[in-house]
Structure 1
Amino acid sequence: DSNPFNKKSKAEELETLLDKYVPGVEVMRTKLKKYDKTYKELTAENGEPEKKLNSASRESIQKKLEIQRKLSELDELRRTVDSIPDAVIREYTERKYVHHDRMNQEI
């Protein structure tokens, strides 16, 4: 509520307020510049380990997938071997020994 009679006092009041506010803003701005610089440096520093972590995680996942694939293959091979009838295995084993015995006799 300003009128012609209190304009000067309102202007002085505003000037006093700005005299307190403006230096505070400048101090704050200076601090923010320092913090901003530090923030940018730390962000850059943290970026490198984060990249390494992502790379390591990716490699770890790939290794786990490879191990899982090999375990699945091994499981499949075991099932295949287990499905071979015992008679076939005995026949093969006997032939192998017979063949091995013949080789020894010829030498």
Structure 2
Amino acid sequence: MAGYIYLGIAIIGELLGTNLLKLSVGFTRLFPTLGTLLAYGFCFYFLSLSIKTVPLNLAYASWAGLGLIFTTIISIFLWREPLNAIGILGLGLIVVGVVLLDGFGTPGH
């Protein structure tokens, strides 16, 4: 169970790092740049802890997929970025892929 908690923390770190990356304006702003580097370091540390017990394929698919979905949601509300029907379809396919991998792709989990 701890592996999944670490994975959740890694996803939060990735979300923080990605949004700080946008604020860094191409690494031209010091504090958002430092925050980006710290958040990604935090993220990868907890991802490394999670893959001690969570299968790598499931951990990475969940980290990347959920990170992408939540980043998209944040980008819509925080950054006012648009999302079209094709984008929604793509996000839906990612969700299906993560669910299938979790339910059928990893024996014993």
TM-score range, shorter chain: under 0.3
TM-score under structure 2 normalisation?
Answer: 0.27
Greater relative CO, 1 or 2 (CA 8 Å, sep 6+): 2
Q: Return the structure number with greater helix share.
A: 1
Q: Which has the larger radius of gyration?
A: 1
TM-score under structure 1 normalisation?
Answer: 0.27
